[in-house]
A and B are shown apart, each in its own frame.
Chain A
Amino acid sequence: MENTFNKIIELDDAMKHFRDGMIIMFGGFGGIGTPPSLIDGILDNGFKDLTLIGNDSGFPHIGIGKVVSRGRAKKMIASHIGSNPVAGQLMTDGKMEVEFSPQGILAERIRAGGVGIPAILSDIGLDNDIVTGNKQTCSVGGKKYLVETALTADISIVFAKKADPYGNLIFDKSARNTNPLVAMAGDMTIAEVEEIVPLGSLDPDEIITPGVFVNYIVPSKGVNWKWAWE
């Protein structure tokens, strides 16, 4: 494959961009659509004290759950950690801080970060202390809203079905989930992909994430965990 834009790199080279204490945003929903090889790279290289931002904490041996379960995260911003009891334990023991955000609002905060909007207004959980916390409120048209701040990250990691050398991405069915949003919100975005196809072979009408948002493309070694239903 011609590496026209020098975006296609090996996993080891991708790992040179990571460091301890980073804010990492990850695509995926219950592990589906979370990049398996990049997750293993983070684990194998021992990165720690990470702040992880994404939909949920996966399962103990699936998706971002692998990183969480080994105590590599100091903080998570997520909507749900129920499928990963280790995450719950780490939170209860005070070893990992968890900030909960309602799922769709979390996705919008990520999208806002990705498209250069500083915050969004939301009426979800207005009567709920856990959601409102110390957030600012404001009034629009006589109604009260929460100011939900945008989220960005040092690095975003996503999982796509296909990329071309420019980093244009298409996703696979429900593995799309938060990936197109996460792809936009990183200061640097690394896409792990199942297949790299020649420039011009993706139908421009079907591209979900334009390559402008993607800095690097890493070929995937494939999912190596066993799903809960298997």
Chain B
Amino acid sequence: MGMGVEIRNRIAKRAAEEIKNGMIVNLGIGIPSLVPNHLPAGTNVMFHAENGITGMGPSPEKGKEDENLCNAGGFPVSIVKGASYCDSTIAFGMIRRGRVDMTILGSLEVSGKGDLANWIVPGKKVPGMGGAMELAQKARKVIVLMNQTDKYGNPKIVDECTLPLTSARCVNMIITEMAVFQISAHGLILTDLFAPHSINEVRAKTGCSFTIAENVRVIN
């Protein structure tokens, strides 16, 4: 994503607020991988990787990487006390059975109804769904971290996704560099605004209508 480190961290920090003690959380690649850096000390959370790790820790120091201890993106990680390894069926069993409390991932488009399109660009990029469908469909809470607009300035939050869906009506929350939205049965609700952006600015860069929460929090 074409955004500065500071903005990426601001999004990650806001997402970290959603993680509560005792949760099992699966993180996608990109900004989601920054989320653990923003957790308050002493938060007990088990990070889940679909390649079979429950209890992932931070990246090891250079030179201390273990080629057989990597996250689902193939990059070296460590483990925390209480961690476990399992095979792929069990890793996904945790997801489908509803044991994974939250997944935080990136997306290409999200509709105001919570439809997620993050796996295919017809004619351009057909990488396969990997574990995205299961995570989107079965994680208890789905949070999308992404830019408000694509590189051409088009809104990524839209009325109807133009790209093929990963999963319909699965996203619960969207955090962009401009605002935070919740997705409820009544549609999209703006809850937080990142300074210095204004609600009008967000409206101009959102492809569907949204309501505004009673007390919008402004994050500086």
Tell me whether A173 and B87 are in contact (CB under 8 A).
no
A95-118 interface code vs B (CB 8 A; 1 in, 0 out): 000101011110110010000000
Residues in chain B near residue A179, CB distance under 8 A = 87
Contact A174-B128, Cβ < 8 Å, known A32-B51, A104-B95, A104-B96: no
Tell me whether A173 and B88 are in contact (CB under 8 A).
no
- Closest chain-B Cβ to A50's Cβ sits at a distance in Å of 19
Residues in chain A near residue B128, CB distance under 8 A = 56, 78-82, 98, 100
Closest to B59 in A: A229
A195 interface residue (CB < 8 Å to B): no
Tell me whether A177 and B74 are in contact (CB under 8 A).
no
Q: Which of A92, A108, A174 contacts B49 (CB 8 A)?
A: A174
Q: Which of B70, B85, B88 contacts A107 (CB 8 A)?
A: B88
Chain B binding site: helix, strand, loop or mixed by DSSP?
Answer: loop
Tell me whether A107 and B87 are in contact (CB under 8 A).
yes
B2 interface residue (CB < 8 Å to A): no
Contact A128-B88, Cβ < 8 Å, known A33-B68, A88-B126: no
Contact A29-B68, Cβ < 8 Å, known A103-B134, A104-B95: no
A219 interface residue (CB < 8 Å to B): no
Interface positions, chain B 33-61, Cβ under 8 Å from A, are 49-53
CA distance A179 to B86 in the complex (A): 11
Residues in chain B near residue A83, CB distance under 8 A = 74
B30 interface residue (CB < 8 Å to A): no
B4 interface residue (CB < 8 Å to A): no
Tell me whether A176 and B52 are in contact (CB under 8 A).
yes
Closest to B91 in A: A104
A83, A92, A104: residue with the most chain B Cβ atoms closer than 10 Å: A104
CA distance A78 to B129 in the complex (A): 9
Tell me whether A102 and B129 are in contact (CB under 8 A).
yes
Tell me whether B129 and A174 are in contact (CB under 8 A).
no
Tell me whether B129 and A32 are in contact (CB under 8 A).
no
Closest to B115 in A: A127
Tell me whether B52 and A174 are in contact (CB under 8 A).
yes
Residues in chain A near residue B127, CB distance under 8 A = 80-82, 88
A123-143 interface code vs B (CB 8 A; 1 in, 0 out): 111011011000000000000
Q: Which of A124, A128, A171, A227 contacts B67 (CB 8 A)?
A: A227
Q: Which of A88, A123, A130 contacts B164 (CB 8 A)?
A: A130
Q: Which of B72, B87, B96 contacts A178 (CB 8 A)?
A: B87
- Closest chain-A Cβ to B147's Cβ sits at a distance in Å of 20
Interface positions, chain B 115-156, Cβ under 8 Å from A, are 120, 125-131, 133-134, 137-138
Tell me whether A229 and B92 are in contact (CB under 8 A).
no
Residues in chain A near residue B137, CB distance under 8 A = 123-125
B22 interface residue (CB < 8 Å to A): no
- Closest chain-B Cβ to A36's Cβ sits at a distance in Å of 11
CA distance A107 to B120 in the complex (A): 21
CA distance A210 to B69 in the complex (A): 23
- Closest chain-A Cβ to B95's Cβ sits at a distance in Å of 7
Tell me whether A100 and B76 are in contact (CB under 8 A).
no
19 contacts between A and B (CB under 8 A): A30-B72, A78-B128, A81-B127, A82-B127, A88-B125, A91-B126, A102-B134, A104-B88, A104-B93, A107-B87, A107-B88, A111-B89, A124-B133, A128-B167, A174-B71, A174-B85, A176-B52, A176-B85, A227-B67
What is A's interface to B at a CB cutoff of 8 Å? Answer: 29-33, 55-56, 59, 78-83, 88, 91-92, 98, 100, 102-105, 107-108, 111, 123-125, 127-128, 130-131, 161, 171-181, 208, 223, 227-229
Q: Taking A103-B130, A130-B164 as given, write out 4 further A-B residue pairs in contact, using a Cβ cutoff of 8 Å, ordered by the A residue number.
A: A100-B128, A103-B88, A107-B89, A178-B88
Nearest first, the 6 A-B pairs at minimum CB distance are A104-B92, A82-B127, A107-B88, A30-B74, A80-B130, A175-B68
What is B's interface to A at a CB cutoff of 8 Å? Answer: 49-53, 65-76, 85-89, 91-93, 95-96, 120, 125-131, 133-134, 137-138, 164-168
